Amino acid sequence: MSEDEKLHEEAEEIRKETAEGAPKVAEHDHVAELEKQLEELKSKALYAAAETQNVRRRLEAEKDQASSYAAAQFARDMLAIKDHLDRALAAVNDELRADKVASQFLTGIESTSRELDQVFARHGISRIKSVGEKLDPHRHQAMVEIPSDKAEPGSIIEEMQAGYMMKDRLLRPALVGVAKEPD
């Protein structure tokens, strides 16, 4: 064997030894790196799934609220009609009620008002109690202060316009007169 061949063989053996050892070290590092990447990806996947579930819950809650309160503007518009019916009935005196023709007409107006109240109740619309209550700025709007020694200051003694709630939301505040200490 020539010296070139011997060098060639020795180089080949060194290469084989290096090749046999190198892949094991490189393979071990590569596996550890892949496991680390796998854990990171699992963590990201779990985070994304949780975020997706949170978004889904939020959208469902918003959808439920939107459907529950979709009729709010229509209900506010109907409150004006209810106000007109109530004012018309309040303006009727006993003499007019005694008249047979007017009495039948008034019965129709009262029936319409009652039906409107029933429709409001079916849709979660309720009148806010005002007179005799303490002023609640979330439900009442004070329009005037009235000197009174019969009522406690800050309590409502007059209702100028009824207020209404739709379930737990304010449709319209009650316009009220609040008692104050006499001068």
Largest interatomic CA distance in the chain? 140
> Both 49 and 83 in a single domain?
no
Q: How many domains is the chain partitioned into structurally?
A: 2
CATH of the domain at 106: 2.30.22.10
> Both 8 and 58 in a single domain?
yes
> Both 160 and 145 in a single domain?
yes
Residue type, 155: S
> Both 85 and 26 in a single domain?
no
> Both 87 and 145 in a single domain?
yes
Q: Which of 68, 94, 121 is the last residue in one of the domains?
A: 68
Q: Structural domain of residue 28, as residue ranges?
A: 1-68
Q: Which of 47, 68, 89 is the last residue in one of the domains?
A: 68
SS3 22: helix
> Both 52 and 95 in a single domain?
no
pLDDT in tens, the chain (183 residues): 677 777 777 777 777 765 555 555 566 788 888 999 999 999 999 999 999 999 999 999 988 888 777 788 888 999 999 999 999 899 888 888 888 888 898 999 999 999 999 999 999 999 999 999 999 999 999 999 999 888 899 999 999 999 999 988 999 999 999 999 887
Give ∠ CA 136-141-146 in degrees, rounded to 5: 95
